[in-house]
């Protein structure tokens, strides 16, 4: 059981390869130890040194297998990658500013520089990833979620993808477009872990273990978020919420360990680079500690939460709408697909034109980068008082929010509205990019807007107990940022990320309230951004059970299972195998004792059956048969010995070896094509005609299947017909199953796959095609009827046991026969 429920067909081949490699390594290790022994006998000058070195090497190699070494290396690597990427992005952004600043004599030149720079960078990024590894496009979190479910996505964890993702991401973010780095960093960290794991497996065998790799990937996701925001705790929690459905607390420390180390190194690098004096938060705030907020401000925070919930759902919807619109419009699509780089270029052009500071950008703080906007939005001071923009000293970047003609409120509203659709649009560009950071900034701006309004409304604060505590709009910005990003990603841990980013936890209750409200609203309206992308990309997924849908406890497996199971019996012949393989497309097939008893013995992978069939009917046996026939023919005809026959048999044996080596795909034995092949064979003796071959084929097909060399999973996952949908969902997501057989006292009666489950869960809202149990199904008197049923079933089995001759079973086998 759980022998092989991954969807990958070549796992077995890989395992075999790994085993071979392992045994090779063992040999090399023993070689090395032999070298050591030899060295000890060697009385040369630096023999001692060399012995010492070899010993150290041995010790190190034995230590390399430890988890914590791996995690430290991963953390170190990711911190370096994160820091280098950040550094490059900062340089890119500075270069744009420098160009823009240097050309301040001519507005047109300025515009050209402002627009061309991002267009070039984005186009390069899109082209580069397209050419090197198209898998690097997008966030990466949806893919990681799918991979952690146990599905193997090809090419998602290769070195090529790593290079494409890192360089593509740097260029994309360097362009100044509203894109984020947290999603790609989850992917990059997973890539790092996978590559590191591969590299480390050169030293020890343990890195080959599949479940260990999954554990390490889960830790890597935490590292990705952790080193991106220098937020170890938030990173771990965010990665858990975003990628897992069930989390092993056992793996908890791995994530914390690696993420903390990574965040530590990431911040230490900043100190060493003289950017900062000591390790502090990334976006440090300086709100007052003694009275962070008044109780009476809580309704305002709740409003932020609810509005953010709607906003988050709208963002996800808008994002999906844009993707679907681009896909549907065939004319546009053909045009854009031909020139894959045109779409990114056009979008970038549009966005950067609108943010051009002397143009429309002046009304929306267009000249600020994402980071600068966030710093100003989280600022401690109040921008507006009594409705009029206060004439305080706008230091540094805060100036950008001040416009001589328009109010700071107008600037904020424009910023929010424009950035909202720009971010939704920009994240559809086929470059490596995330949506967390843009959404975070928009949320902060929204919070700031509410905060400034509150400050304008209550210039002396709300508290009536003597002391004046003015309202802190920066605190509102923090709340807004957490709420909106939480709503878009459907996570609560953005609250923790916010605390770690700002270095202040004083607003914990408002933040938690807003985040929970935002989540409640967003989750009831739309799937999370990542789930939305999973659906758009048609990755295999299992929808979450919604909040408090009680009907999941009442729907049972028997209501959703497919009763018409494709199975093979222990005494079936190759013809049955052939028919089953031709009709269905399931990856595994049930093996039952006989069509009468239907006792489930195990499941066999399709590939195994295909190879069985191809062994029986494939080229080698065919050639052998022909050779035998030819030999018999020859003997019978007593012709002179032909020197070419030996050569021919050699070739045949070569072909046999070739056939056995690769995982050959089964070619349905069509008489016409095979006979054509054989007729063209030079070695064929004339009497072997097409009919004979067809006859031979028929004969072969009627033979009983020999399962001796076939890998059988002897205990595939089994459910009972009365298991509730809720429990089934839990088990499927716990164990990462993609199908389970439904049995009744050992007898196969149905199968449930991810598809049925998905239909049932989504169908319980909008029923289509699936028989969904009425909501009151739990009230039916199931106790007596089903126990009766069980008893009858058992009785049948018993009867069979006594008489050993039973009439054919009704539903499943008959319908199966028909379908075959």
* Contact with a copy of itself (CB under 8 A) among 47, 91, 417, 745: 745
Contact status: 11 vs a copy of itself (CB under 8 A): no
**Choices 18-26, 51-59, 527-535, 659-667 (CB under 8 A): range interacting with a copy of itself:** 18-26
Alpha-carbon distance 186 to 181, whole Å?
A: 9
Least Cβ distance, residue 486 to a copy of itself (angstroms): 11
DSSP 505-568: -TTHHHHHHHHHHHHHHHHHHS--HHHHHHHHTT----PPP-TT-GGGGT-BHHHHSBSS--EE
Interface of this chain with a copy of itself, residues 265 to 284, rule: CB under 8 A: 267-268, 271, 277-281, 284
Residue pair 247/215 in contact by the 8 Å Cβ criterion: no
Distance between CA atoms of residues 577 and 668, nearest Å: 11
Greatest Cα-to-Cα distance within the chain, rounded to the nearest angstrom: 122
Instruction: Name which of 500 and 697 has its Cβ closer to a copy of itself.
Output: 500
Q: Return d(Cα 447, Cα 308) in angstroms, integer.
A: 9
Report the 10 Å Cβ neighbour count for 53: 12
Instruction: Kindly state whether residue 172 participates in binding a copy of itself, applying the rule CB under 8 A.
Output: no
Residue from the set 182, 452, 500, 816 that interacts with a copy of itself by CB under 8 A? 500
The CB-of-799 to a copy of itself minimum distance in angstroms stands at 11
Distance (Å, whole) CA 348 – CA 424: 13
Of 184-192, 255-263, 350-358, 681-689, the segment contacting a copy of itself by CB under 8 A is 255-263
Q: How many other β-carbons are positioned within 10 Å of the β-carbon of residue 711?
A: 15
Closest distance of CB 792 from a copy of itself, Å: 8
Euclidean distance between CA atoms 640 and 202, whole angstroms: 58
The answer to whether 601 contacts a copy of itself (rule: CB under 8 A) is yes
Please report, for residues 242, 252, 794, the alpha-carbon distance to residue 150 in angstroms, rounded to integers and kept in the order given. Answer: 15, 19, 36
For residues 285-324, which are near a copy of itself according to CB under 8 A? 286, 289-295
Which residue's CB is nearer to a copy of itself, number 206 or number 349? 206
Is the separation of the CB atoms in 222 and 242 below 8 Å?
no
Cβ atoms within 10 Å of 155's Cβ, excluding its own? 11
> Rounded distance, CA 57 to CA 760, Å?
57
How far is C-alpha 421 from the geometric centre of its chain's CA atoms? 26
Alpha carbon separation from 145 to 202, 244, 469, 531 (Å, rounded): 28, 7, 45, 9
In the list 6, 11, 21, 22, the residue contacting a copy of itself (rule: CB under 8 A) is 22
- Tell me if 468 contacts a copy of itself by CB under 8 A: no
Residue 619: which of 677, 680, 578 has the closest Cα?
677
Contacting residue, 453, 519, 588, 608, with a copy of itself by CB under 8 A: 519
For residue 599, the 8-state DSSP code is B
CB of 532 to a copy of itself, least distance (A): 18
Pairing of strands 712-713, 600-605: antiparallel
Strand, helix or coil at 365? coil
Q: Mask: binding to a copy of itself, 473-492, rule CB under 8 A, as x and -? A: -------------------x
> Residue 287 CB, nearest distance to a copy of itself (Å)?
9
**Subset of residues 78 to 97 that bind a copy of itself, contact rule: CB under 8 A:** none
Query: x/- string (CB under 8 A) for a copy of itself, residues 579-598?
Result: --------------xx----
- Binding a copy of itself (rule: CB under 8 A), the pick from 153, 354, 667, 731 is 731
Cβ partners under 8 Å of residue 683, min gap 6 = 626, 630, 644, 645, 648
- Closest separation between CB of residue 550 and a copy of itself, Å? 5
Q: What's the full length of the chain, in residues?
A: 820
| Residue nearer to a copy of itself on the CB measure, 644 or 714 | 714
256: contact with a copy of itself by CB under 8 A:
yes
Q: Residue 790, class by beta-carbon neighbours within 10 Å (0-12 exposed, 13-18 middle, 19+ buried)? A: middle
Identify residues 610-629 at the interface with a copy of itself (CB under 8 A).
none
Contact 549, 761 (CB under 8 A): no
CB of 802 to a copy of itself, least distance (A): 8
Per-residue x/- marks for a copy of itself, 405-444, CB under 8 A? ----------------------------------------
For the bound state, the minimum distance from the C-beta of residue 139 to a copy of itself, rounded and expressed in Å, comes to 19
Residues 525-584 that bind a copy of itself (CB under 8 A): 544-545, 547-548, 550, 553, 570-571
Provide the minimum distance between the beta carbon of 512 and a copy of itself in the complex, in angstroms, as a whole number: 4
Within 688-717, the residues that bind a copy of itself by CB under 8 A are 707-715
Helices 67-102 and 182-200, axial angle in degrees (round to 10): 140
Nearer residue to a copy of itself within complex by CB, 626 or 797: 797
- The answer to whether residue 472 forms part of the interface with a copy of itself (CB under 8 A) is no
Closest distance of CB 393 from a copy of itself, Å: 20
User: Shortest approach of a copy of itself to residue 286 CB, angstroms?
Assistant: 6
Query: Restricting to residues 437-466, which ones interact with a copy of itself according to CB under 8 A?
Result: 463, 465
Region near a copy of itself per CB under 8 A, out of 30-38, 78-86, 302-310, 509-517:
509-517
Selected binder of a copy of itself within 513, 534, 617, 737 (CB under 8 A): 513
Size of interface with a copy of itself, in residues (CB under 8 A): 125
Rounded to a whole number of angstroms, the minimum distance from the CB of residue 811 to a copy of itself is 17
Task: Compute φ and ψ for 219, nearest 5 degrees.
Answer: -65, -40
Q: Is 470 in the site for a copy of itself (CB under 8 A)?
A: no
Residue pair 175/117 in contact by the 8 Å Cβ criterion = yes
Residue among 547, 563, 561 at smallest CA distance from 765: 547
CB of residue 2 to a copy of itself, shortest distance in Å: 6
Nearer to a copy of itself, 427 or 616 (CB): 616
Q: Which of 68, 98, 325, 658 lies at the binding interface for a copy of itself (CB under 8 A)? A: 68
Site for a copy of itself in 748-807 (CB under 8 A): 778-779, 781, 783, 787, 790-791, 794-795, 797-798, 801-802, 804
Tell me the backbone φ, ψ of residue 750, rounded to 5 degrees. 180, 180
Rank residues 265 and 351 by Cβ distance to a copy of itself and give the closer one: 265
Q: Which of residues 191-250 bind a copy of itself (CB under 8 A)?
A: 205-206, 209, 211-212, 232-233, 237, 240-241, 244-250
User: Please, what is the minimum distance in Å from the beta carbon of residue 34 to a copy of itself?
Assistant: 18
Question: Which C-beta is closer to a copy of itself: that of 34 or that of 284?
Answer: 284
- Only segment of 31-39, 126-134, 688-696, 719-727 that touches a copy of itself (CB under 8 A): 719-727
CA distance readout (Å), 723 to 270, 566, 782 = 55, 21, 13
Nearest 5°: phi and psi at 748? -70, 125
Residue 640 binds to a copy of itself (criterion: CB under 8 A): no
Q: Which residues, including other chains, have CB under 8 Å from residue 680's CB and lie 6 or more apart?
A: none
CA distance 67 to 71: 6
Q: Does 506 bind a copy of itself (CB under 8 A)?
A: yes
Give the separation between CA 238 and CA 494, rounded to whole angstroms.
Answer: 7
For a copy of itself, which is the closer residue by CB, 28 or 819?
28
3-state secondary structure of 104: coil
- Bridge partners of residue 603, in order along the sequence: 590, 713
Closer to a copy of itself by Cβ: residue 212 or 402? 212
Q: In what order do the strands lie in the sheet with 739-744?
A: 718-720, 739-744, 747-753
Q: Which of 164, 221, 223, 263 binds a copy of itself (CB under 8 A)?
A: 263
If binding is defined by CB under 8 A, does position 512 make contact with a copy of itself?
A: yes
| Separation between Cα atoms, residue 119 and residue 492, nearest integer Å | 35
Nearest to 81 by CA among 4, 179, 192, 157: 192
């Amino acid at each position: 059981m759980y022998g092989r429920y991954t969807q990958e067909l070549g796992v077995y081949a890989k395992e075999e390869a790994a085993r071979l490699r392992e045994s090779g390594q063992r040999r090399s290790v023993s070689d090395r130890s032999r070298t050591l022994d030899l060295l000890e006998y060697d009385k040369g000058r630096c023999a001692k040194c060399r012995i010492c070195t070899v010993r150290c090497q041995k010790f190190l190699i034995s230590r390399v297998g430890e988890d914590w070494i791996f995690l430290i290396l991963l953390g170190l690597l990711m911190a370096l990658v994160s820091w280098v990427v950040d550094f490059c992005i900062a340089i890119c952004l500075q270069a744009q500013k420098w160009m823009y600043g240097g050309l301040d004599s001519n507005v047109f030149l300025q515009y050209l520089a402002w627009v061309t720079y991002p267009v070039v960078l984005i186009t390069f990024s899109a082209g580069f990833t397209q050419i090197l590894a198209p898998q690097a496009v997008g966030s990466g979190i949806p893919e990681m979620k799918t991979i952690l479910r146990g599905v193997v996505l090809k090419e998602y964890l290769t070195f090529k993808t790593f290079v494409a993702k890192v360089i593509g991401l740097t260029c994309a973010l360097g362009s100044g477009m509203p894109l984020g780095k947290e999603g790609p960093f989850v992917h990059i960290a997973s890539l790092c872990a996978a590559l590191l794991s591969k590299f480390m497996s050169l030293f020890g065998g343990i890195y080959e273990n599949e479940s260990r790799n999954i554990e390490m990937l889960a830790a890597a996701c935490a590292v990705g978020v952790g080193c991106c925001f220098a937020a170890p705790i938030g990173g771990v929690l965010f990665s858990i919420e975003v990628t897992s459905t069930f989390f092993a607390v056992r793996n908890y420390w791995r994530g914390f360990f690696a993420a903390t180390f990574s965040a530590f190194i990431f911040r230490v690098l900043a100190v060493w680079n003289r950017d900062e004096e000591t390790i502090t938060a990334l976006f440090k705030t300086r709100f007052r500690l003694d009275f962070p907020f008044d109780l009476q401000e809580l309704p305002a925070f709740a409003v932020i939460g609810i509005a953010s919930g709607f906003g988050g759902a709208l963002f996800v919807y808008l994002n999906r709408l844009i993707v679907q619109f681009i896909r549907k419009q065939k004319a546009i699509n053909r045009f854009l697909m031909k020139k894959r780089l045109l779409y990114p270029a056009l979008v970038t052009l549009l966005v950067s034109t609108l943010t051009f500071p002397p143009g429309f950008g002046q009304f929306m703080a267009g000249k600020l980068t994402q980071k600068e906007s966030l710093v100003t939005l989280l600022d401690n001071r109040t921008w507006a008082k009594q409705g009029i923009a206060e004439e305080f000293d706008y230091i540094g970047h805060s100036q950008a929010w001040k416009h001589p003609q328009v109010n700071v409120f107008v600037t904020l509203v424009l910023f929010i509205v424009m950035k909202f659709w720009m971010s939704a649009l920009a994240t559809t560009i086929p470059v490596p990019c995330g949506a967390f950071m843009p959404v975070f900034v928009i949320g902060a701006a929204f919070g700031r807007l509410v905060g400034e309004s509150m400050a304008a409304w209550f210039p002396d604060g709300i508290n009536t107990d003597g002391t004046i505590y003015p309202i802190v709009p920066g605190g509102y910005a923090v709340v807004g940022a957490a709420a909106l990003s939480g709503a878009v990603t459907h996570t609560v841990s953005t609250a923790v990320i916010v605390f770690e980013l700002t270095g202040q936890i004083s607003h914990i209750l408002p933040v938690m309230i807003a985040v929970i409200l935002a989540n409640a609203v967003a989750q009831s309206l739309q799937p999370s951004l990542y789930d939305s992308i999973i659906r758009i990309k048609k990755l295999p997924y299992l929808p979450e059970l919604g909040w408090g849908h009680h009907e999941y406890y009442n729907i049972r497996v028997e209501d959703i299972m497919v009763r018409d199971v494709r199975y093979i019996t222990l005494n079936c012949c190759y013809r049955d195998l052939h028919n089953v393989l031709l009709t269905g497309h399931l990856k595994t097939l049930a093996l039952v004792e006989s069509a009468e008893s239907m006792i489930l013995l195990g499941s066999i992978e399709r590939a195994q059956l295909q190879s069985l069939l191809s062994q029986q009917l494939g080229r080698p046996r065919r050639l052998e048969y022909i050779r035998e026939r030819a030999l018999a023919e020859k003997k019978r005809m007593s012709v002179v010995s032909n020197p070419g026959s030996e050569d021919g048999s050699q070739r045949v044996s070569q072909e046999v070896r070739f056939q056995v080596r690769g995982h050959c795909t089964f070619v349905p034995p069509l008489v016409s094509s095979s006979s054509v092949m054989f007729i063209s064979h030079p070695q064929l003796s004339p009497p072997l005609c097409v009919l004979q071959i067809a006859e031979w084929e028929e004969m072969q097909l009627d033979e009983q299947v020999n399962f001796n060399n076939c890998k059988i999973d002897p205990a595939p996952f089994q459910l009972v017909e009365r298991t509730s949908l809720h429990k089934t969902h839990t088990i499927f997501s716990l164990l990462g199953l993609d199908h389970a057989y439904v049995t009744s006292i050992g007898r196969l009666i149905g199968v449930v796959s991810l598809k049925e489950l998905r239909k049932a869960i989504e169908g319980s809202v909008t029923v289509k095609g699936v028989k969904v149990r009425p909501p009151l199904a739990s009230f039916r008197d199931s106790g007596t009827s089903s126990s009766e049923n069980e008893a009858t079933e058992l009785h049948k089995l018993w009867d069979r046991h006594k008489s050993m001759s039973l009439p054919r079973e009704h539903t499943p086998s008959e319908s199966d026969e028909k379908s075959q």
